[in-house]
Structure 1
Amino acid sequence: MNRSSRLGAWLLTLLFMFGSGSTMAKTPPDQLIIGMNMNNLLTLDPAAMTGNEVVGLVVNLYDSLVELDPAKLTNVRPALAKSWEVSEDGNRLTFHLRDGVKFHSGNSLTADDVVWSMRRILHLNLAQASVWKSYGFSKKNVDEHVKALDSSTVEITLPKANDPQLVIYSLAALGSVVVLDSKTVEQHVQNDDWGNRWLTTNEAGSGPFSLEVWQAKDVLRMQRNPEYWRGEPKLARVVFRHFQESQTLRLMIAKGDLDIASNMAVSDVNALRKDPDMTVDAVKKGTIYYVAMSMKEPHFANPKVREAVRYLIDYQGINKALMPGYGVLHQRPIQSGMPATLPNPGYSLDIPRAKKLLAEAGYPDGFDTTLRVLADQPFLNIAIAVQSTLMQAGINAKIVTGTGNQIYGAMRERKFDMLVGRGGSGVEPHPHSSLRSLVYNPDNSDAARLTNFQGWRTSFYDKTLNQQIDNALVERDPAKQLAEYQAIQTRYDELIPALLPLSQMVDSVVVRKEVQNYQPHPSATTFLRDVYKTPAENGENKG
């Protein structure tokens, strides 16, 4: 046990020795205090963000054209756009903005800001550009396809055939096409960076809260926007605090020093389930835990080696022992719960089969490699389990831990061997959402920089598979589309992919009963604008 773990255990012991009862701390009634792990919080720039943690922050600082109903993801709700239409041919989307919306600066929000925000994503070509490039948008054609017809009307013409409903889902769910205050951002441009450096630690939104301060791996504070167009939020301030240790989070929320705690270990979440002052909100998300291999690395360019790794993962053991509260067994690239998703193929640990495959590949004695992983749970425990079973077939994987930037950064640069990670979008209620993130790779060149696509990161490329994904997206016959998505999953398995799904994410958040109207969003876009707190003695559990 390391020093911080011993400290957390000691503090937890003190809590239970002396109890919390009458001496319980109280967070301010008009402030929401949220404990979380901020290791993967690297930027507040919507165009550059990666990971679920930052999405939950961005959607409370900015507004989007439309949003997804957390209770029913296929229900698209108006936001900055009060209404919209899709042309009969499905190639043109027209959004009508509501009047009187102001940015935090006091500037009026217009259609020009919407267009500028979209242009910015494509010109910067950072993480969030990948989705829009897959739809055919580029910095060369965005001016032609995204236009302000007047101050309150935005027209988006799709560059290539697509499912317009998926595009609307993306506008609603990704958090990337939030609308930025173009006048404010342009004042902070350095060397044609579209304000990227400034927006890393600042914001220029119109959302219910404005950024007060962000100190990396310490604290982020938002304050109420009294001029918010939906009405003044009930909370004066939302404070996000960084905690590395799950035991510390458990201590803090049990004492009443936190209102909400996320990123906690399963054992701590389960212990808090028994506390009548707490509610545990468990939400299944479309994100997939996986083991990835780089096909730029000569060992993993060999399909027999990738197949051997497929049989060197104890999927069932990992999900039973390590994933309760974090995820559920899932071995398909399309998230579960959709009509198109095939049943799990049933892969399991098979050491003799893996050894035979390695021998056929020319590695009868195995080889040495590295396995990158976040220094957080459940990732680290998954990596240790995988390391152990790889070793049984002679693959000696040295575990390399680090922050999100160190681990996923290496993956985005295609400079890794193996990696335990989590991804797959899945935020839009459509099979393409998962495939786009985990499988699709229309341009395998290094110059393409499709950094938000796991297929590109792993250098996994198959022309036929890409074409199948493109065809399924625009198929209008539901039965044919269903069959095409199932055929994609079958081919993906047959190709021995470089990314092996092992579990689908479950997000467990512990919430004190005083907190009302808090609803964790399956797409990570959790809105805090309607959240408020009632006195503990009168608070009712929100279920």
Structure 2
Amino acid sequence: MAAGWTAQAKTPPDQLIIGMNMNNLLTLDPAAMTGNDIVGIVVNLYDPLIELDPQQLTHVRPALATSWEVNDADNLITFHLRDGVKFHSGNPVTADDVVWSMRRILHLNLAQASVWKSYGFSKKNVDEMVRSPSPGIVEIQLPKPNDPKLVIYSLAALGSVVALDSKTVQAHEVNGDWGNRWLTTNEAGSGPFRLDSWQAKDVLKMSRNPQYWRGEPQLTRVVFRHFQESQTLRLMIEKGDLDIAHNMAVSDVTALSHDPAIQVDEVKKGTIYYVAMSMKEPHFANPKVREAVRYLIDYQGIGKALMNGYGIVHQRPIQVGMPATLPDPGYKLDIPRAKALLADAGYPEGFDTTLRVLADQPFLNIAIAVQSTLMQAGIRAKIVTGTGNQIYGAMRERKFDMLVGRGGSGVEPHPHSSLRALVYNPDNSDAARLTNFQGWRTGFYDKQLNTDIDQALLERDPEKQKQDYFAIQERYDALIPALVPVSQMVDSIVVRRDVKNFLPHPSATTFLRDVYKDDSPQSAAQNAQPTGGKGL
């Protein structure tokens, strides 16, 4: 149980209490955030220009921007901002704040800069490309040819391009850090909620913004509590001490799905569970070794035994459900074939390596299963567990051997979103620091593949573009990449039925501004109905 938490019979009717594992919650700075957990917090403290409808992802909705248009040349997006919006400080939200916030991402060059660098933005050109020619107008000029629809999707889905109160942040700047140190534990937004306090790996509290431009939220407070143990989460939400629970073990989710006071929202996300290898490590620089690993993963066994409620078997870099996604190639565990490949590579007796993984489920169970099948061909992988910063930090520094992880963005409803995160690597140098690109992290680089991805993005004929994406997947597969997709993520979120208007977002940008509780007799009668999973 989290420190300082006193069990109670029921959560207050005007407060939302959310239980989750907060080990990977490392910063509140939108420009530096990594992982889905922080996105769901940031989007409730800040406002974006635009947002994606959680029930129709290709529908872009207004937020700070009331309207926008793209020029005929497809290289300039113009946003018109709404009047009268104020930051939590009382300062007005201006076009200059929006421009400064986006420029800040590129100048800091932290985790969230990678996507924008792939679009051609840089520290050198962003001040020219992102501008406000007049009050209330923001222009984003694309530095290189691109699909403006994808850029709009990125602005709406990533959660990082939000309006920061530039005056407040600059007042806390230290040694030219653009306020990064201060924003690690503070906020300067205009969103529906204000940050009250955050104690790492314990509790984060936010209270409603009474001056919010959409109208005052019905909830007076939202509290995020840290729990590592799934059984504790199960006990707390069964008793009514939590309203929502994330990161629960499948066995506990399944048990709770039969409780008439609880529903389970199963949200398919674009992120992919994978086994990664570093091509900077001599063993995995050899394509035969990487191909051997491809046949040393029991995809179907892992899917059946370990991934119920966590994911579905998927072996392609582009997420399931898109017209451009090829059927799975059908790889299966094949020990004899893997042994032959290792012998051809010069490792008939196998070799020793390390396999990094989060000490959380389902990651650890996947790693144990992979370790077992690797051993059958002589690859002796020592499992190294740790926190997100320890495991993914080593990957971002390109200092790892093997790793079981989850990534791939996929938050934008466009094939390029998945390819950019998992495959694309325009600069394989250490100095490039493309830390949000799994291709760069693993050292996987193919010039032609990068060119093909760039060209497919610009193709305006839908059928031709689909065929281009088919060809990209086939080339990627033939090159025997350093990242092996295993499963596509399903996020199972447990919600008490008196919580209303909670719509978990596939891109993790779950908005809480319209959430409220209803324990009226009518709602209670609804709670008595049989329950089942609800998919979005």
Q: How does 1:448-459 map to 2 (within 5 A)?
A: 448-459=432-443
Q: Establish whether residue 54 from structure 1 lines up as the match of residue 38 from structure 2.
A: yes
Q: Establish whether residue 352 from structure 1 lines up as the match of residue 336 from structure 2.
A: yes
> Quick one: distance in 2 between partners of 1:290 and 1:246?
23
- SS of equivalent residue, structure 1 residue 150: coil
| Cross-structure match for 1:88 | 72
| Cross-structure match for 2:86 | 102
Deviation at 1:538, TM superposition (A): 3.9
Count of paired positions: 522
> Quick one: distance in 1 between partners of 2:405 and 2:492?
18
Which residue identity lines up with residue 57 of structure 2 in the other structure? Answer: L
| Cross-structure match for 2:138 | 154
> Quick one: distance in 2 between partners of 1:201 and 1:399?
32
| Cross-structure match for 2:4 | none
What per-residue deviation string (whole Å, max 9, x for no partner) do you get for residues 259-298 of structure 1? 0001000000000000000000001000000000000000
Q: How does 1:108-507 map to 2 (within 5 A)?
A: 108-507=92-491
Percentage identity across aligned positions?
82
- SS of equivalent residue, structure 1 residue 240: strand
- SS of equivalent residue, structure 2 residue 291: helix
> Quick one: distance in 2 between partners of 1:443 and 1:207?
36
Which residue identity lines up with residue 506 of structure 2 in the other structure? Answer: P
Matched-pair contact (CA < 8 Å) for 1:269–1:508: yes
Which residue identity lines up with residue 405 of structure 1 in the other structure? Answer: N
Which residue identity lines up with residue 435 of structure 2 in the other structure? Answer: T
> Quick one: distance in 2 between partners of 1:120 and 1:394?
48
Q: CA RMSD in A?
A: 1.1
Deviation at 1:24, TM superposition (A): 7.7
| Cross-structure match for 1:9 | none
1:506/1:188 CA distance change after superposition, 3 Å: same
Which residue identity lines up with residue 497 of structure 2 in the other structure? Answer: K
Which residue identity lines up with residue 28 of structure 1 in the other structure? Answer: P
| Cross-structure match for 1:534 | 518
- SS of equivalent residue, structure 1 residue 529: coil
Which residue identity lines up with residue 156 of structure 1 in the other structure? Answer: I
| Cross-structure match for 2:19 | 35
- Say which is worse superposed, 529-538 or 51-60, in terms of deviation: 529-538
In structure 2, runs of 5+ residues without a counterpart are 2-6
Matched-pair contact (CA < 8 Å) for 1:300–1:306: yes
- SS of equivalent residue, structure 2 residue 420: helix
> Quick one: distance in 2 between partners of 1:382 and 1:198?
37
Q: Establish whether residue 69 from structure 1 lines up as the match of residue 53 from structure 2.
A: yes
Which residue identity lines up with residue 116 of structure 1 in the other structure? Answer: W
With the length of structure 2 as denominator, give the TM-score of the two structures: 0.96
> Quick one: distance in 2 between partners of 1:69 and 1:286?
16
Matched-pair contact (CA < 8 Å) for 1:91–1:164: yes
Which residue identity lines up with residue 268 of structure 2 in the other structure? Answer: K
Which residue identity lines up with residue 96 of structure 1 in the other structure? Answer: H
Which residue identity lines up with residue 264 of structure 2 in the other structure? Answer: V
Deviation at 1:536, TM superposition (A): 6.0
Which residue identity lines up with residue 259 of structure 2 in the other structure? Answer: D
> Quick one: distance in 2 between partners of 1:465 and 1:222?
45
Which residue identity lines up with residue 525 of structure 1 in the other structure? Answer: T
> Quick one: distance in 2 between partners of 1:150 and 1:44?
31
> Quick one: distance in 2 between partners of 1:491 and 1:124?
34
What per-residue deviation string (whole Å, max 9, x for no partner) do you get for residues 54-103 of structure 1? 00000000000000000000000000000000101111100000000000
| Cross-structure match for 1:10 | none
> Quick one: distance in 2 between partners of 1:508 and 1:431?
24
Matched-pair contact (CA < 8 Å) for 1:333–1:435: yes
What per-residue deviation string (whole Å, max 9, x for no partner) do you get for residues 384-429 of structure 1? 0000000000001000000000000000000000000000000000
> Quick one: distance in 1 between partners of 2:172 and 2:287?
48
- SS of equivalent residue, structure 2 residue 133: strand
> Quick one: distance in 1 between partners of 2:483 and 2:8?
47
Matched-pair contact (CA < 8 Å) for 1:513–1:536: no
What per-residue deviation string (whole Å, max 9, x for no partner) do you get for residues 189-227 of structure 1? 111110111111111000000100100000000100000
Q: 1:44 aligns with which of 17, 25, 28?
A: 28
- SS of equivalent residue, structure 1 residue 149: coil
What per-residue deviation string (whole Å, max 9, x for no partner) do you get for residues 453-502 of structure 1? 00000000000000000000001111110000000000000000000000
With the length of structure 1 as denominator, give the TM-score of the two structures: 0.95
Which residue identity lines up with residue 170 of structure 2 in the other structure? Answer: E
What per-residue deviation string (whole Å, max 9, x for no partner) do you get for residues 139-168 of structure 1? 100111111011200011100000000000
> Quick one: distance in 1 between partners of 2:224 and 2:8?
20
Which residue identity lines up with residue 371 of structure 2 in the other structure? Answer: Q
> Quick one: distance in 2 between partners of 1:100 and 1:43?
29
Which residue identity lines up with residue 363 of structure 1 in the other structure? Answer: Y
- SS of equivalent residue, structure 2 residue 419: helix
> Quick one: distance in 2 between partners of 1:312 and 1:484?
30
> Quick one: distance in 1 between partners of 2:136 and 2:500?
34
What per-residue deviation string (whole Å, max 9, x for no partner) do you get for residues 282-322 of structure 1? 01000000000000000000000000000000000000000
> Quick one: distance in 1 between partners of 2:77 and 2:164?
20
Which residue identity lines up with residue 200 of structure 1 in the other structure? Answer: T
Which residue identity lines up with residue 387 of structure 1 in the other structure? Answer: Q
In structure 1, runs of 5+ residues without a counterpart are 5-22
> Quick one: distance in 2 between partners of 1:298 and 1:343?
32
> Quick one: distance in 1 between partners of 2:325 and 2:520?
44
